[in-house]
């Protein structure tokens, strides 16, 4: 399994002449065009088709080896996979990037132009979906048998446009002109049942048998995306399910009176995989969303069982030895009652035997503590869509309550607290509880988050099941997030410490001894400057804003959410602006604040914050009195491919969430890996980043979790800060005027209201002064060029821990118990 392997760059499997011939062949034979007619899009597709030949060869060999070795495999169930683009990645992993570059050059084509033709595969919202993408990259790289299971959304996350400062959502159509990577597998179509009713029957031996008569059945069509490991040995699969009508409609059910109403509300089959829900950190509670979840879980379980039966027939005794399923948050938690249904109703196993298997198969990753993000489904909704599953959930709960009673005899309050069912006006099913009870391992995603999962989210579960709750700190793939996105820095690192760091990121430690070396500092900062020039060009093209590349590039990129506190950054920008207006000689190094963020379409305040950032930006960017000391650039449509351009150019990484709210963060890791210095709170993985780089190489500020809780307990009043700190008062009052929105007074007032009238739930005002002071410390540090270069280098050098290979190694050792499988050629 050890990714900490061997040698250098992957050695190219074909040479330039062969690659060139393959591209031309596909231009002619796959696309029906030729060199004279082809536009960049056609060249992109032909290049994809050329590399896909290698990909499919690797895929075939991998599948054969896994089959022959009857390997245990991990099945990563995730409603989201935020893959981004694949061409550059696949070229890199086969060691063919330079070969392709040379071949295309000879054909008169710039590789950078054709890479831009590829639409992002944005089948995810943010960190959770991107984590899944990094993990499947590491799994393939480490030669581990693994398959990703998810949904083949027709529309991924919306495309964001900014009109007069405000976010507009436009549909994303990533497959509009065909996706060259995916392979449809009609031979593996599955059927999924929905609605209907449950019939109770009695078997010969008096055994109660349950039969679900579904009201409708939809088809799940699998599309496979090959996932190429670094060095191209293992090629695993991401299998995404697309819904289709099956033509089946149960008229018996329809005619059975009481079911008519339910049937009328049936979703049409095709809508199930139509669109990704654009919410992060909030649960919409919509019926279609539950159907999406069940749809992909049901298809995936059937697929796994088909494969298992091919090797082991009806002998279920080895199922848990062969299959482990990782639930990426609770979105796939309905898999637990679904597997129970298959084992009990279909395979006719006894409950205890079935439950024994289930609880050896599932493991669950928690990604949030925010109460509004913890999934709960109305029992009535589950009953309508999945009537048998609700019965099974009740049975699981009934037996679990008996366990609770054993541990805490007669304690009804404890039962109510731990029950899968939340009683109230409307009975709700708590998917987090179901996941903890039905899994053999539960993990948080950073040390601090996992500690809080144990101490505040699930303390009683931790007592009931000692050792079940654990930590696996998140990670990122250094292949995409350094080697591919930052070729300048990668080449410099190759020269300094060798080329094997992409497989063994701890090797970056070797850079630390050059951190104070003047020559290396100059080389390192020259690469940074070149990356800043590229981003400056992007900013010019996209926003028509000129930025000074000698300014500090200060980057905040993540979904827009109050807890992530983009508005804290905004208040500081306004304060700086005010200081300059009050004192034209205000001493600061020029700074460019760059933002990228999408807001959930229904999240009003988040959209207001985007609007405010853009309005403040307009004013500051065009005010000659600012004398170019501050520029603010909000880049629209933040996505993986834009992140790849922003991250290498960052000097400063903004990680300023309220302590205790950001489970981990992964952008923090990507930015630090590319030599950005963090300004951040002691939250999520920032804590571990600080441990790695040392206090001198990070700017930590603000309340700790304990202080946040104490302040809340003692009655936090944001007005205290408003009245005590004149600068806070001035900037908040400024929001109420029409200074930033001429002719529209009050257009930005919702932000002030949330911070004062609504009690400032994320303690922005409490942390403002500390943040603003930390920003001054950043400014001072940056002016010492050598000291700053040293800090930046140390950040890159100390990121070894955060490779997703290490996360996967932790999962393999602590949870999955997997072995790598060598691929025979
Ligand atoms: C998406 C859909 C729903 Cl219904 C709920 C949440 C999400 C989502 O996107 N969550 C998410 O991205 N969570 C993030 O997961 C990352 C990976 O573990 C963490 O780094 C990050 O802290 C966390 O917010």
Q: Is 367 in the pocket of ligand 1 (CB under 6 A)?
A: yes
Whether 263 has a pLDDT exceeding 70, the answer reads: no
Q: What's residue 283's pLDDT?
A: 74
Average confidence score pLDDT of the chain: 96
Span from the CA of 367 to the centroid of ligand 1 (angstroms): 6
Whether 262 has a pLDDT exceeding 50, the answer reads: no
Span from the CA of 279 to the centroid of ligand 1 (angstroms): 10
Span from the CA of 373 to the centroid of ligand 1 (angstroms): 9
Span from the CA of 476 to the centroid of ligand 1 (angstroms): 15
Sequence-separated (6 or more) residues with CB below 8 Å from residue 570: 609, 612, 613, 616, 751
Q: What's residue 8's pLDDT?
A: 55
430, 437 contact by CB (below 8 A): no
Q: What's residue 3's pLDDT?
A: 47
Interior CA angle at 526 toward 521 and 530, to 5°?
Answer: 155
Whether 9 has a pLDDT exceeding 90, the answer reads: no
Pocket test for ligand 1, best of 135, 277, 281 (most atoms within 8 A of CB): 281
Whether 346 has a pLDDT exceeding 80, the answer reads: yes
Q: Is 288 in the pocket of ligand 1 (CB under 6 A)?
A: no
Name 633's bridge partners. Answer: 594
Q: Is 138 in the pocket of ligand 1 (CB under 6 A)?
A: no
What are the CA-CA distances from residue 645 to residues 282, 321, 669, 717, 789 (Å)? Answer: 29, 43, 15, 41, 20
Q: Is 280 in the pocket of ligand 1 (CB under 6 A)?
A: yes
Q: Is 339 in the pocket of ligand 1 (CB under 6 A)?
A: no
Pocket test for ligand 1, best of 125, 367, 435, 664 (most atoms within 8 A of CB): 367
Whether 472 has a pLDDT exceeding 90, the answer reads: yes
Residue 37: count of CB within 10 angstroms of its CB: 10
Q: What's residue 285's pLDDT?
A: 75
Span from the CA of 764 to the centroid of ligand 1 (angstroms): 21
Whether 2 has a pLDDT exceeding 70, the answer reads: no
Query: Catalytic residues, which ones?
Result: 367, 558-559, 564, 666, 670
Q: Is 432 in the pocket of ligand 1 (CB under 6 A)?
A: no
Q: Is 78 in the pocket of ligand 1 (CB under 6 A)?
A: no
The pLDDT of 326-349, averaged and rounded, is 98
DSSP strand pairing (208-213 vs 216-228): unpaired
Span from the CA of 282 to the centroid of ligand 1 (angstroms): 10
Pocket test for ligand 1, best of 82, 122, 124, 127 (most atoms within 8 A of CB): 127
Q: Is 648 in the pocket of ligand 1 (CB under 6 A)?
A: no
Span from the CA of 366 to the centroid of ligand 1 (angstroms): 9
Q: What's residue 203's pLDDT?
A: 86
Q: Is 373 in the pocket of ligand 1 (CB under 6 A)?
A: yes
Span from the CA of 750 to the centroid of ligand 1 (angstroms): 26
Q: Residue 482 has what DSSP assignment?
A: I
Q: Is 795 in the pocket of ligand 1 (CB under 6 A)?
A: no
Q: Is 438 in the pocket of ligand 1 (CB under 6 A)?
A: no
Whether 340 has a pLDDT exceeding 60, the answer reads: yes
Q: What's residue 261's pLDDT?
A: 46
- The ligand 1 atom at the shortest distance from the C-alpha of residue 685 is 20
Rounded Cα distance, 69 and 172, in Å: 41
490, 499 contact by CB (below 8 A): no
Pocket test for ligand 1, best of 124, 276, 280 (most atoms within 8 A of CB): 280
**Could you report the predicted ipTM of this complex, rounded to two decimals?**
0.99
Q: Find the distance separating the first CA and the last CA of the chain, reported in whole Å.
A: 18
Whether 576 has a pLDDT exceeding 90, the answer reads: yes
In order of their start, the domains of the chain are 1-69+86-119 (no CATH), 70-85+120-160+173-474+809-816 (3.40.50.2000), 485-703+762-797 (3.40.50.2000)
Q: What is the pLDDT of residues 40-62, one digit of tens each?
A: 999 999 999 999 999 999 999 99
Rounded Cα distance, 649 and 644, in Å: 9
Q: What is the pLDDT of residues 609-641, one digit of tens each?
A: 999 999 999 999 999 999 899 999 999 999 999
Q: What's residue 407's pLDDT?
A: 98
DSSP strand pairing (166-170 vs 159-163): antiparallel
Rounded Cα distance, 727 and 725, in Å: 5
Atom 9 of ligand 1 has which residue's CA nearest to it? 280
- The ligand 1 atom at the shortest distance from the C-alpha of residue 663 is 22
Q: Is 82 in the pocket of ligand 1 (CB under 6 A)?
A: no
Q: Is 475 in the pocket of ligand 1 (CB under 6 A)?
A: no
Count of residues making up the chain: 825
Whether 5 has a pLDDT exceeding 60, the answer reads: no
Q: What is the pLDDT of residues 299-323, one digit of tens each?
A: 999 999 999 999 999 999 999 999 9
Atom 4 of ligand 1 has which residue's CA nearest to it? 283
Whether 26 has a pLDDT exceeding 90, the answer reads: yes
- The ligand 1 atom at the shortest distance from the C-alpha of residue 474 is 18
DSSP strand pairing (421-422 vs 428-430): antiparallel
- The ligand 1 atom at the shortest distance from the C-alpha of residue 666 is 20
Atom 15 of ligand 1 has which residue's CA nearest to it? 128
282 or 179, greater pLDDT? 179
Q: Is 445 in the pocket of ligand 1 (CB under 6 A)?
A: yes
Sequence-separated (6 or more) residues with CB below 8 Å from residue 105: 111
Q: Is 662 in the pocket of ligand 1 (CB under 6 A)?
A: yes
Q: What's residue 259's pLDDT?
A: 46
Atom 1 of ligand 1 has which residue's CA nearest to it? 280
Q: What's residue 320's pLDDT?
A: 98
Sequence-separated (6 or more) residues with CB below 8 Å from residue 495: none
Interior CA angle at 257 toward 255 and 263, to 5°?
Answer: 70
Q: What's residue 255's pLDDT?
A: 63
Span from the CA of 276 to the centroid of ligand 1 (angstroms): 14
Rounded Cα distance, 121 and 85, in Å: 6
Q: What's residue 149's pLDDT?
A: 99
Sequence-separated (6 or more) residues with CB below 8 Å from residue 162: 168, 610, 614, 634, 636
Q: Is 666 in the pocket of ligand 1 (CB under 6 A)?
A: yes
Q: Is 665 in the pocket of ligand 1 (CB under 6 A)?
A: yes
Q: Is 683 in the pocket of ligand 1 (CB under 6 A)?
A: no
Atom 3 of ligand 1 has which residue's CA nearest to it? 280
Span from the CA of 602 to the centroid of ligand 1 (angstroms): 17
451, 366 contact by CB (below 8 A): no
Whether 4 has a pLDDT exceeding 60, the answer reads: no
Q: Is 636 in the pocket of ligand 1 (CB under 6 A)?
A: no
Whether 1 has a pLDDT exceeding 70, the answer reads: no
Q: What's residue 10's pLDDT?
A: 72
Whether 228 has a pLDDT exceeding 60, the answer reads: yes
Span from the CA of 171 to the centroid of ligand 1 (angstroms): 22
Whether 258 has a pLDDT exceeding 70, the answer reads: no
Rounded Cα distance, 239 and 128, in Å: 18
Pocket test for ligand 1, best of 126, 296, 471 (most atoms within 8 A of CB): 126
The pLDDT of 801-819, averaged and rounded, is 98
Span from the CA of 657 to the centroid of ligand 1 (angstroms): 14
The secondary structure of 753-797 as a DSSP string is HHHTTT--TT-HHHHHHHHHHHHHHHHHHHHSHHHHHHHHHHHHH
pLDDT band at 558 (very low <50, low <70, confident <90, very high): very high
Q: What's residue 256's pLDDT?
A: 57
Q: What is the pLDDT of residues 732-785, one digit of tens each?
A: 999 999 999 999 999 999 999 999 999 999 999 999 999 999 999 999 999 999
Name 378's bridge partners. Answer: 428
Span from the CA of 126 to the centroid of ligand 1 (angstroms): 6
Pocket test for ligand 1, best of 76, 128, 449, 802 (most atoms within 8 A of CB): 128
Q: Is 131 in the pocket of ligand 1 (CB under 6 A)?
A: yes
Span from the CA of 713 to the centroid of ligand 1 (angstroms): 27
């Amino acid at each position: 399994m050890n990714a900490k392997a061997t040698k250098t760059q992957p050695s190219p499997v074909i040479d330039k002449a062969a690659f060139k011939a393959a591209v031309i062949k596909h231009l002619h034979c796959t696309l029906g065009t030729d060199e004279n007619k082809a536009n960049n899009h056609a060249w992109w597709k032909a290049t994809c088709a050329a590399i896909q030949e290698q990909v499919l060869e690797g895929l075939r060999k991998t599948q054969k080896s896994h089959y022959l070795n009857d390997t245990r495999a991990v099945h990563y169930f995730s409603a989201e996979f935020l893959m981004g683009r694949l061409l550059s990645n696949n070229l890199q992993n086969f060691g063919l990037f330079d070969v392709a570059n040379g071949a295309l050059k000879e054909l008169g084509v710039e590789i950078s132009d054709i890479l831009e033709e590829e639409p992002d595969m944005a089948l995810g919202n943010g960190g959770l979906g991107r984590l899944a993408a990094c993990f499947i990259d590491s799994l393939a790289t480490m030669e581990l048998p693994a398959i990703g299971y998810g949904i083949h959304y027709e529309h991924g996350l919306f495309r964001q446009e900014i009109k007069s400062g405000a976010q507009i959502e436009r549909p994303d159509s990533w497959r509009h002109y065909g996706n060259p990577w995916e392979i449809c597998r009609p031979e593996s179509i599955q059927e999924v049942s929905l609605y209907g009713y449950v019939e109770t029957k009695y078997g010969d031996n008096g055994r109660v048998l349950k039969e679900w008569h579904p009201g409708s059945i939809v088809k799940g069509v699998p599309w496979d995306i090959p996932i190429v490991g670094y060095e191209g040995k293992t090629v695993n699969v991401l299998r995404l399910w697309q819904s289709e009508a099956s033509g089946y409609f149960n008229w018996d059910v329809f005619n059975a009176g009481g079911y008519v109403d339910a049937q009328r509300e049936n979703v049409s089959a095709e809508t199930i995989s139509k669109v990704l829900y654009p919410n992060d950190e909030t649960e919409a509670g919509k019926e279609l969303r539950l159907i999406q979840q069940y749809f992909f879980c049901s298809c995936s379980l059937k697929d796994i069982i088909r494969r298992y039966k091919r090797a082991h027939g009806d002998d279920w005794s080895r199922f848990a030895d062969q299959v482990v399923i990782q639930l990426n948050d609770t979105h796939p938690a309905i898999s637990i009652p679904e597997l129970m249904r298959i084992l009990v109703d279909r395979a006719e196993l006894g409950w205890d035997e079935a439950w024994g298997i289930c609880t050896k198969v599932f493991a669950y990753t928690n990604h949030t503590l925010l109460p509004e993000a913890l999934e709960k489904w109305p029992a009535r909704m589950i009953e309508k869509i999945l009537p048998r599953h609700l019965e099974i959930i009740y049975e699981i709960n009934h037996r679990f309550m008996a366990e609770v009673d054993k541990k805490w005899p007669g304690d009804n309050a404890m039962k109510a607290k731990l029950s899968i069912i939340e009683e109230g006006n409307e009975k709700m099913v708590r998917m987090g509880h179901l996941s903890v009870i039905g899994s053999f391992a539960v993990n948080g995603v950073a040390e601090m988050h996992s500690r809080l999962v144990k101490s505040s989210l699930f303390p009683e579960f931790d007592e009931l099941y000692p050792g079940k709750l654990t930590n696996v700190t998140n990670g990122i793939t250094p292949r995409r997030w350094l080697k591919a996105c930052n070729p300048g820095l990668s080449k410099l690192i190759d020269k300094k410490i060798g080329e094997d760091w992409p497989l063994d990121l701890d090797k970056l430690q070797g850079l630390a001894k050059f951190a104070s070396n003047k020559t290396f500092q100059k080389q390192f900062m020259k690469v940074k400057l070149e990356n800043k020039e590229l981003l400056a060009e992007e900013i010019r093209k996209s926003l028509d804003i000129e930025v000074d590349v000698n300014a500090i590039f200060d980057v905040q990129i993540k979904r827009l959410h109050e807890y992530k506190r983009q508005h804290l950054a905004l208040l500081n920008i306004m304060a700086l602006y005010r200081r300059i207006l009050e004192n034209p000689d205000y001493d600061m190094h020029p700074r460019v604040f760059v933002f990228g963020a999408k807001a959930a379409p229904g999240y009003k305040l988040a959209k207001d914050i985007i609007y405010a950032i853009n309005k403040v930006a307009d004013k500051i960017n065009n005010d000659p009195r600012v004398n170019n000391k501050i520029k603010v650039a909000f880049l629209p449509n933040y996505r993986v491919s834009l992140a790849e351009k922003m991250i290498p150019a960052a000097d400063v990484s903004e990680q300023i969430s309220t302590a205790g709210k950001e489970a981990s963060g992964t952008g923090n890791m990507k930015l630090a890996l590319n030599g950005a210095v963090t300004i951040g709170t002691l939250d999520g993985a920032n804590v571990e980043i600080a441990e790695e780089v040392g206090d001198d190489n990070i700017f930590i500020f603000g309340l700790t979790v304990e202080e946040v809780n104490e302040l809340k307990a003692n009655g936090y009043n944001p007005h205290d800060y408003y009245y005590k700190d004149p600068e806070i008062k001035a900037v908040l009052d400024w929001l109420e005027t029409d200074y930033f929105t001429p002719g529209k007074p009050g257009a930005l007032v919702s932000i002030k209201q949330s911070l004062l009238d609504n009690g400032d739930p994320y303690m922005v005002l409490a942390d403002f002064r500390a943040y603003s002071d930390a920003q001054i410390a950043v400014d001072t540090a940056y002016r010492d060029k050598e000291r700053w270069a040293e800090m930046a280098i140390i950040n890159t050098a100390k990121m070894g821990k955060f490779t997703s290979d290490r996360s996967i190694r932790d999962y393999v050792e602590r949870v999955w118990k997997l072995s790598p499988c060598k691929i025979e050629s």
